[in-house]
Structure 1
Amino acid sequence: MAVQRVLEMATRQLASRPALLEKLEQELASGHLWCCQDADCMVLTMVSLEADGLLQRSFVESHLKHFIDEWVTLQQHHETRPTIVDSPDSPDAAAAHEAPLPRAALIDKLAPHWPSIETDLRYCHMNGLSAARYGDYNWLESVALLWARVHGRLAPRIADEPVLDIPLPAH
C-alpha cells in the first residue's frame, strides 16, 4: 500500500522527469528506498495511519511530497559529486570517500554553523535528515550539510569563520 501511495505522488511530482521516476520505482521495488531514506519507517506508518482514517490525507500528501523532494535532492547531489579517475591508492581517491562521523562528533563539528543541529538530528525521521544516516550510529557530514543548506539551517557566515559551503545541484 505504501509503495502505491508513494508512486501515486511521485508520478505527479516527477511527471517531467521520467528517468528519475523510473529510478524511484526501481528503488521502491527493491526496498532500497526504505532502507536508505525511510529507515525509521515513517512513510509506511503514515500511510497505514491514513488508511485507518487516523491521519488526514493532506498531511500525508505533504509529508510524501517532502519525502520525494528529499530523495530527488539527494539524487542530484550524487550525480554532481566529482569522480576521481586516479588509482585507488592515490591520496585524492582516499579523500573522495567520506568517513562517517558519530552523532556527537557531527554536532561538535557543525554546531557553530548550524545552531539547530541537535533538534534536527533528534527529529531526523520526521524532517528527512535521516538520509544522512550511515548505519545505526553514524552520519555523513556532506549529506547533512546539504540538507541543512537546502532547509536554511546554516547560520549566516561571519567574516572570520571558515566557509561551509557546498554547491546545490543545478535543476
Structure 2
Amino acid sequence: MLNRRAALMLFSGSIVAPKMAFAAQPLEIMWEDLIPPGLPYPEIIGEGEMDEASDMWNPIYDANGEKMNEELNGAYVKLPGFIIPFDTSSEGVTNFMLVPYVGACIHTPPPPANQLVMVDTVKPWPGDELWDPVWVIGTMSTKLQSTTIAEVGYSMVADEIEVYEW
C-alpha cells in the first residue's frame, strides 16, 4: 500500500514526465524545403550586375527566387549549412548568413533569396570553426531583406548551433 508521500510523488511525476516528453523537437529541414511546395528552383534570367567593390557578380533570378515557404514562418527548425560571418568578436560570431554550400556568396554568385538565411545567436559560434558545416536550430521567419552580399529570404534566431556530422 502506498503512503501519502509516495502517492504524491508518483502523481507529480506523472504530470511532469509528459511535459518533458513533449518538449519542442525541431523540424529537421533541408534547403529544398525553403522553396514553396510545387515551385521549381529559381533560375537566373538576367545578366545581373558586377559589384566592382567586392568583385562579385549579382545575378538576376526569376520571381520564384523571392517566394518563401510560408509554412516555415514561426516554425522551430533544424537546418544544415555553412556560415558567412557578419558580426564577429574575440568570442566568435553572433550574426551570420547560413548558406547551402561552402563558398556561396563569397567565391560564387549568391543563391536566390529563398536559399539564404540570416541568423542571430546569443551564444557566439567559435571563429576557428567557420569553415565547418553546422546545424542551426531555432525559430525561422520569412522576411525578405537586403545585405551587402545578397537578397535574403529567411531569418532565424538560433537557440543552438552544432557541428554537422557526416
TM norm structure 1: 0.20
- Structure with greater helix percent: 1
TM norm structure 2: 0.20
- Structure with greater strand percent: 2
